């Protein structure tokens, strides 16, 4: 089995990251924004795994587990916030939640 070249892994990671980022920017619904964030986190995770396998070190996988935990925590907090938002504003449109004007 030939090893996948690092460049390919990084390219995939970048594309995923870009897609996730575009999702964050383009989507109005906060739920989809959270999902896009997950995509971005996973893109970073792919990059770590790829790098870890390239240098034959465990650090990449350690980092990935860290990211996974972080993502879980983030989703928990994020979803809780979403429920509060839905309760309070009856909407998940992020553009309507600009009452602080920056």
Partner 1 sequence: MELILTYLPFYPLISFLILISFGKRLSWQLASFFSVGAMALSAISSGVLVYHLTHIDASVITVHLWEWFNLSTGDSASEILSGVNSTVNISFYLDALSAVMISVVSGIGFLIHLFAAVYMKEDENFSRFMAYMNLFIVAMLILVLADNLVLLYLGWEGVGLCSFLLIGFWYQDKANVKAARKAFIVTRIGDTAMAIGLFMLFKTLGQLNIADLTQTAQQTWEVGNESAYWIALLLLGGAVGKSAQLPLQTWLPDAMAGPTPVSALIHAATMVTAGVYLIARMHGIFLLAPEVMQYVAWLGASTLLLAAFAALAQTDIKRVLAYSTMSQIGYMMLALGAGAWSTGVFHLMTHAFFKALLFLTAGAVILALHHQQDLFKMGGLLKKLPVESALFIIGLICLVALPGTSGFFSKEAIIGSLWSSSTAGPALWWCAILGALLTSIYSCRLFFLAFLGESRFQTSLHVEDSKLLRLSLIILAILSLFGGLISIDFDTVFPVSLSAHQDPSWLHTVAILTPFVGIAFSWFYFSSYRKNQGDNITASSSSLVIFCRNGLGFDWLYQWCLIKPYCALARLNRRDMFDQLIMFNAWYVKMLHETLSASQTGNLRWYAAAIGLGLVGLFTVIMVGVGSI
The site for partner 1 (CB under 8 A) is made up of 21, 24-28, 33, 94-95, 97-102
> Which CB atom, from 4 or from 26, has the smaller least distance to partner 1?
26
Least distance (Å) from partner 1 to the CB of residue 20?
A: 11
End-to-end CA distance of the chain: 53
For Cα atoms 93, 19, 24, give the angle at the middle one, nearest 5 degrees: 20
> Which CB atom, from 32 or from 54, has the smaller least distance to partner 1?
32
Integer Cα distance of 19 and 49 in angstroms: 19
Least distance (Å) from partner 1 to the CB of residue 2?
A: 30
Least distance (Å) from partner 1 to the CB of residue 95?
A: 6
Integer Cα distance of 56 and 76 in angstroms: 33
């Amino acid at each position: 089995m030939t090893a996948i070249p690092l460049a390919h892994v990084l390219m995939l990671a970048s594309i995923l990251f870009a897609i996730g980022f575009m999702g964050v920017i383009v989507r109005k619904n906060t739920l989809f924004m959270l999902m896009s964030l997950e995509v971005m986190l996973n893109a970073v995770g792919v990059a770590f795994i790829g790098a870890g396998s390239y240098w034959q070190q465990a650090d990449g996988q350690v980092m990935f587990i860290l990211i996974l935990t972080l993502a879980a925590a983030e989703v928990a907090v994020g979803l809780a916030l979403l429920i509060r938002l839905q309760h309070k504003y009856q909407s998940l449109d992020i553009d309507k939640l600009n009452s602080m004007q920056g």
